[in-house]
Structure 1
Amino acid sequence: MSTTKRDITNLIHHAYTPPAGFDAPQQGVFKASTVYFPTVANMRQREWKDKSSYTYGLHGTPTTYTLEERLCSLEGGAQCVLVPSGLAALATVALAVLHSGDEVLLPANAYGPNKALAEGELRHYGISHQLYDPLSPQDLASKINPRTRLVWMEAPGSVSMEFPDLPEMVRLCKARGVMCALDNTWGSGLAFKPFDLLGDAPADGESGSLAVDISAHALTKYPSGGGDVLMGSVITRNPALHLKIKLCHMRLGLGVAANDAEAVLRSLPSIDLRYRAHDQTARALAAWWQAQPQCVQLLHPAFAGSPGHSHWQALCERTPGSGLAAGLFSVMIDARYSQAQVDAFCDNLKFFRIGYSWGGPVSLVVPYDLASMRQSWPSHLKQGTLVRFSSGLESAHDLIHDLNQSAQAHLPVA
């Protein structure tokens, strides 16, 4: 007998509802654009801004609400919005708090796409920008002016890994009445807490410590951990600021896929274990490089001599040996080696894959043309070719062997 229209209607409007009370280690995945309301009155009464109910898939589901709350717990924030990438998090902040005639300050070592955003779209909207020396609070102070509305910070800086005096810079912004936002992807809520920079927040979790206003995070990196998810977050503690960001987020139509949220939720319980493993391996690799004559400068915040090392110690290592430092570091290869030699060294690595991003199980390497990324060569960096490494979860012994074989072949010591 053929299927009738009534059969299809019954299929679509099937009366069965699974029993309540199911519980398991992983959260359920709720996929929705349309959200049902029992009555028109209920539809009109619902509110999505405070997460008290659901109105439309773009404004939140149980899956995304759960991820937002867990990320707040990780970083010490109170409110969170999810966006499709780390760069989308930076852009959402800028579009939510800046207006024509305003100015934003960025560190000279800022994540390249954030600079490009300032030079492109923000400039088109009548928003100016300046770059400041990330190792000089005095330079930051000199750049703040009546038009300054937002200061971006990175700890450490992109590629060259300078670690700023973050608490002092935050104090400076607070004293000047300027909003400060941190790209907290490297710290990930583990190396330090962006909303408790002095480690003295009240036990009840209420605000009271020195804190940034906004923490932006590329969940693509350590929260995901698999190199297979693009997502970002914007976390705050101030309800009025959060509402401003959330309304901008709504007007821009930003959302994340339920399965991507599920993937991050599945990875979060292991983030501390993975972060420490990346950190331990990176330090072993960095120590190997420090002993190599081809390396004229090691750029790793946890190593003495790296720019801003004392600031990392003060923020991340309040007791000796306690500090975390992620799995990212760079080395400056002696200028006597040509770019072609350095590129060949990278090409010849077996376990390090060439690719952007970091935080996944596979180790990565990228050589950078630092001169093209800065207005002038930083005085604290030696001349040479910068190569950035991201440690994966492979054996440190195998990775060091890989570095050694390729260095012998393409970076020979005279």
Structure 2
Amino acid sequence: MQAQDTSRDRPSPDLTTQLIHHPYHPPKDFAAPQPGVFKASTVFFPSVAAMRSREWKRKTGYTYGLHGTPTSYLLEERLATLEGGLQTLLVPSGLSAIALVGLSLLGQGDEVLLPDNVYGPSKALAEGELRAWGISHQFYDPMDPQDLARRITDRTRLVWLEAAGSVTLEFPDLPALLSVCRTASQVTVALDNTWGAGLAFNAFDIAPGLGVDLTAHALTKYPSGGGDVLMGSVITRDEALHLRLKNTHMRLGLGVGMNDVEAVLRSLPSIALRYAAHDRAARHLARWCLDRPEFSQVLHPALEDSPGHAHWKTLCLGGTHSSGPDQDLPGNAAGLFSVIVDARYTSAQVDAFCDALRLFKLGYSWGGPVSLVVPYELATMRERWPAQLKPGTLVRFSIGLEAVEDLQSDLAQALRHLS
């Protein structure tokens, strides 16, 4: 077959120019399991009129790489479906999602309320930059809706919720907290939805007529699943709120790399299967830890004695967002649990236990294939020692995808180092 003569389309006899402005375009009817990766800073326009008329805020066209490509648009739409929202913004990390919300919705003289068991860097943001910009904050007891009610004032503009709580994994009464927030019309309610991952419950339909205004999600965790991507999202249902956040997003120049977007797109179809596997192993090991005399308390929302278990059971055992692949594993509860090592053991002994673990690696984050462990000095992280927790040293485990029998053996051998 004779090759097509494209010489008339060549813009120049110079080879470099020909390579840059090559006339060939591949056919458009290509389909495969994984979507294509479109990377760009510059986006071409067919005419000046198109350049002047294209609008980037509602994804009706492409204007500049920072505002999105077909690849990022696809991930945004799939994440909105995952969490029950309508609009998604992608940001470089989970923490940048939290920061975007605060910078967009708060100004000088405003106040933000955070649960005392909030993600640590979120607390640091409130105590650092937000305070320096004249934005005040209070910490409320997430297990006491009346404490939240007492703290809301006419200056309160934003209330953060977290379920389950960071590190200590208390599960709050989300409908009650939302009901309190809805008594103040000026308050926007945000949920850190990283633990639930859009699977444990629908944050926008927590109870009839009750739902959050937006979610922040560290896609670094379960949506990525590989421990190799940093990314976050902010998801909304209200168009006006979305555009307010999107304008700030644009002015801050927040963007994500399309190769990272590709990695999340590749992992997203398996998120429910991986979440269930992490969950099953974590429940098995948490129940095993209940029988160990070295631990005075085991914190996991699916355990009956764990703080907030009844709230978890009410919210996470029903609805399409909480029906996991395993019929004998009711509800969804992620792959995290913490233990309180009995107070008779010193911090040095607890550190020796963590150092002795072989399969569990010392490292932050979670949601990847490798199990992780971190000891925490909880007294330095909270306003006061939580009343629902026994004294001792807290250690958090993130359960990966290793064989659960191997992880249990690893815990057993490392516990010998406590003494």
Is the shorter-chain TM-score for this pair beyond 0.5, marking a shared fold? Answer: yes
CA distance in 1: counterparts of 2:195 and 2:205, whole angstroms: 16
1:304 aligns to what? Answer: 304
**8 Å Cα contact 2:280-2:329 kept in structure 1:** no
Task: For residue 210 of structure 1, report the CA deviation from its aligned partner.
Answer: 1.8
> Which among 43, 47, 54 is matched to residue 39 of structure 1?
47
Deviations 1:103-149 (A, max 9, x none): 00000011000000000100111000000001000000000001000
> Which among 42, 57, 80 is matched to residue 72 of structure 1?
80
2:275 aligns to what? Answer: 275
CA distance in 2: counterparts of 1:294 and 1:109, whole angstroms: 24
SS at 1:397's partner residue? helix
**Structure 2: which 5+ runs fail to align?**
1-11, 320-327
1:194 aligns to what? Answer: 203
2:369 aligns to what? Answer: 361
Task: For residue 5 of structure 1, report the CA deviation from its aligned partner.
Answer: 7.2
2:159 aligns to what? Answer: 151
Task: For residue 171 of structure 1, report the CA deviation from its aligned partner.
Answer: 1.7
2:188 aligns to what? Answer: 179
What value does the CA root-mean-square deviation take over the aligned residues? Answer: 1.2
1:331 aligns to what? Answer: 339
Please list, as runs of the form range in 1=range in 2, the aligned pairs for 1:307-326 lying within 5 A after superposition.
Answer: 307-318=307-318, 322-326=330-334
Deviations 1:356-388 (A, max 9, x none): 000000000000000011121111110000000
CA distance in 2: counterparts of 1:318 and 1:193, whole angstroms: 10
1:376 aligns to what? Answer: 384
SS at 2:357's partner residue? coil
CA distance in 1: counterparts of 2:200 and 2:383, whole angstroms: 30
CA distance in 1: counterparts of 2:332 and 2:383, whole angstroms: 31
Task: For residue 322 of structure 1, report the CA deviation from its aligned partner.
Answer: 2.7
In terms of mean alpha carbon deviation, does 7-16 or 363-372 score higher? 7-16
CA distance in 1: counterparts of 2:330 and 2:101, whole angstroms: 32
1:231 aligns to what? Answer: 231
Task: For residue 411 of structure 1, report the CA deviation from its aligned partner.
Answer: 2.2
SS at 1:301's partner residue? coil
User: Is it true that 1:132 corresponds to 2:140 in the alignment?
Assistant: yes
**Number of equivalent positions:** 399
Deviations 1:142-172 (A, max 9, x none): 0000100000010011001111001111121
**8 Å Cα contact 2:38-2:71 kept in structure 1:** yes
CA distance in 2: counterparts of 1:222 and 1:377, whole angstroms: 30
CA distance in 2: counterparts of 1:321 and 1:268, whole angstroms: 21
> Which among 130, 136, 139 is matched to residue 122 of structure 1?
130
User: Is it true that 1:160 corresponds to 2:160 in the alignment?
Assistant: no
**8 Å Cα contact 2:71-2:262 kept in structure 1:** yes
Please list, as runs of the form range in 1=range in 2, the aligned pairs for 1:43-122 lying within 5 A after superposition.
Answer: 43-122=51-130
Task: For residue 269 of structure 1, report the CA deviation from its aligned partner.
Answer: 0.3
CA distance in 2: counterparts of 1:321 and 1:257, whole angstroms: 37
User: Is it true that 1:10 corresponds to 2:15 in the alignment?
Assistant: no
SS at 1:185's partner residue? coil
Task: For residue 321 of structure 1, report the CA deviation from its aligned partner.
Answer: 5.2
**Structure 1: which 5+ runs fail to align?**
201-208
CA distance in 2: counterparts of 1:357 and 1:328, whole angstroms: 11
Identity of aligned residues (%): 66
CA distance in 2: counterparts of 1:315 and 1:369, whole angstroms: 30
Where in structure 1 do 4 or more consecutive aligned residues deviate above 6 Å? Answer: none
Please list, as runs of the form range in 1=range in 2, the aligned pairs for 1:380-399 lying within 5 A after superposition.
Answer: 380-399=388-407
> Which among 333, 341, 359 is matched to residue 351 of structure 1?
359
SS at 1:188's partner residue? coil
SS at 1:150's partner residue? strand
Deviations 1:204-262 (A, max 9, x none): xxxxx421001000000000000000000000000000000000000000000000000
